[in-house]
Amino acid sequence: MRLIFYIHRNSFLKNWILNLSPMLFKNNVEMYIFHREEYHSTDTIDGIKLINISKYELTEIYYLIKRINPNLFVIFGFRSFFELILIRLFNFLNVNIIYIQHGLISRNHISFFSRISSVNFKTSFVNYLHFTKLFFQFINLNPRNVFREIKIIIRALFFTRYSNVGIDEFYLFSKEAFKVHEKIFSFSERDAKIIGYPLFKVKTNIPSQTVINNTLKKRVLYIHENFIQMKLTKINYHQERDYIQEIATLSKQYGYDFIMQLHPMEDFVKYSNLYKETDIKLFQEGTLNDLVNESSIILGHSSTALFVPILLGKPLIILGFPGSKLKIDEFADVSLTLGSLKEYESLLCNPENLISKLGNYGAYKEEHLGTQNSYEDYCNLILGFLQREMK
């Protein structure tokens, strides 16, 4: 059995592929990764072949797929026109396709125009010229269905409608994710499986009930996001550091240690040098679950990493980020949403208010996080799909 993953950024290797691959290897699944990242310095990782297709013409990708002859193509959400072209190409080659949810989802998350506006315009413009060229090359491969393909592209580009793009199954986090995806993709209920937000490697790691360790010393964990890298704010790295230092200073004034989990896409060495004159301890590698479980307050902005404190029963604070207008309502029922550091200080002065939203966690987890919260659950579904198709 052969499987091709497509990842649009490096963090997917750690977040998904390297958690799925051991179980897939045990079942004799041969894996390949298509990507467009220039900074991958190796052609293989843990026995999986990495192939940079960023400079490939459409016909080169076509013949590469034909040569690999995969049984399945797995894609983690949409980020650009390119993913849609890939899906149409695999569909044209009669390769089964599974879509796995990654991150929060809304129309803006997979709207091409909102994506363009959130990153460097010149870079986006050059990329989209290349993607448009690839699309017309695909049309040349598939001239009999030219009007159908143009209709699919127009619906996606201008109306954020992805019906009939050719995805066989959707693996989603929750009931809420199902509602949002169904409006965008118009799939039937039998094509989507509600699983859960993957937090644990195997099922046996999942606690039967939330256990909060109240014996720990007071600690604030700040879950960093790459707003600057993604062009979602107008401030620079030095201004970001000063902002985070303000949070750390306030926390320490009220007896809390302060640590920061750096976003996986950021350069740890660069941040270490930038923060060496501060007293902020940085983490990036290792298990986020452990850092959350060892902390008494979790701070963040909009990342799905903030699902972890909800699953582990930790107080969650959502802060605005300077220079960013990004607004996420996903955590409104389970977080203390603060508009300023003055409000944060007021909360630290009245720590009894920290637990005011914990009572909402149970219902929120059922609606938003699903019940099967291990990578093993995803592997079992992928293997089951492959075995059905191989019969």
CA distance 164 to 167: 8
88 vs 113, more confident: 88
CA distance 387 to 1: 9
215 and 194 in contact (C-beta within 8 Å)? Answer: no
286 vs 222, more confident: 222
Q: What pLDDT score was predicted for residue 286?
A: 67
Does some domain include residue 16?
Answer: yes
Is the confidence at residue 40, as pLDDT, over 70?
no
Q: Environment class of residue 120 by beta-carbon count within 10 Å: exposed (0-12), middle (13-18) or buried (19+)? A: exposed
Tokens 């859960």 — which residue?
A: 196
Q: What pLDDT score was predicted for residue 209?
A: 46
Same domain, 73 and 135: yes
Is the confidence at residue 107, as pLDDT, over 50?
no
Same domain, 141 and 283: no
Does some domain include residue 210?
Answer: no
Q: What pLDDT score was predicted for residue 311?
A: 85
Tokens 């995805």 — which residue?
A: 167
Q: What pLDDT score was predicted for residue 217?
A: 66
Buried b (16+ CB within 10 A) or exposed e, 63-101: eebeebebbbbbbbbbbbbbbbbbbbbbbbeebbbbbbb
DSSP 8-state class, residue 15: I
Q: What pLDDT score was predicted for residue 328?
A: 67
Does some domain include residue 212?
Answer: no
Is the confidence at residue 81, as pLDDT, over 90?
no
Tokens 């740890």 — which residue?
A: 268
Give the helix/strand (H/E) hosting 123.
Answer: helix 121-141
- pLDDT tens-digit series, residues 315-337: 999 988 888 877 667 788 899 98
Same domain, 140 and 159: yes
Q: What pLDDT score was predicted for residue 115?
A: 47
Contacts of 354 (CB under 8 A, 6+ apart): 297, 315, 336, 347
Give the helix/strand (H/E) hosting 98.
Answer: strand 96-100
The length of the chain in residues reads 391
Q: What is the rounded average pLDDT for all residues in the chain?
A: 84
* Number of domain units in the chain: 2
CA distance 180 to 126: 31
The phi and psi torsions of 155 (rounded to 5 degrees) equal: -60, -35
Give, in degrees to the nearest 5, the angle at Cα 360 between 359 and 366: 125
Domain harbouring 81, CATH code: 3.40.50.2000
CA distance 148 to 186: 17
Is the confidence at residue 119, as pLDDT, over 70?
no
Report pTM: 0.77
Beta bridge partners of 31: 3
Is the confidence at residue 301, as pLDDT, over 80?
yes
CA distance 128 to 136: 12
Does some domain include residue 208?
Answer: no
391 vs 344, more confident: 344
Same domain, 337 and 385: no
Residue 283: give the domain boundaries: 219-369
Q: How confident is the model at residue 37 (pLDDT cuts 50, 70, 90)?
A: confident
Is the confidence at residue 111, as pLDDT, over 60?
no
Same domain, 195 and 246: no
Is the confidence at residue 368, as pLDDT, over 90?
no
Same domain, 359 and 377: no
38 and 52 in contact (C-beta within 8 Å)? Answer: yes
206 vs 76, more confident: 76
Tokens 């195997």 — which residue?
A: 202
Does some domain include residue 211?
Answer: no
Tokens 């699944």 — which residue?
A: 29
Structure tokens at 137: 């090359």
Average pLDDT estimate for 192-206: 79
Window from 119-123, 164-168, 361-365 with minimum mean pLDDT? 119-123
Does some domain include residue 209?
Answer: no
Q: What pLDDT score was predicted for residue 106?
A: 54
Does some domain include residue 98?
Answer: yes
Beta bridge partners of 98: 74, 169
Same domain, 60 and 185: yes
Same domain, 181 and 86: yes
- pLDDT tens-digit series, residues 170-186: 999 888 888 888 888 88
Q: Which of 220, 213, 178, 204 is nearest to 373 (CA)?
A: 204
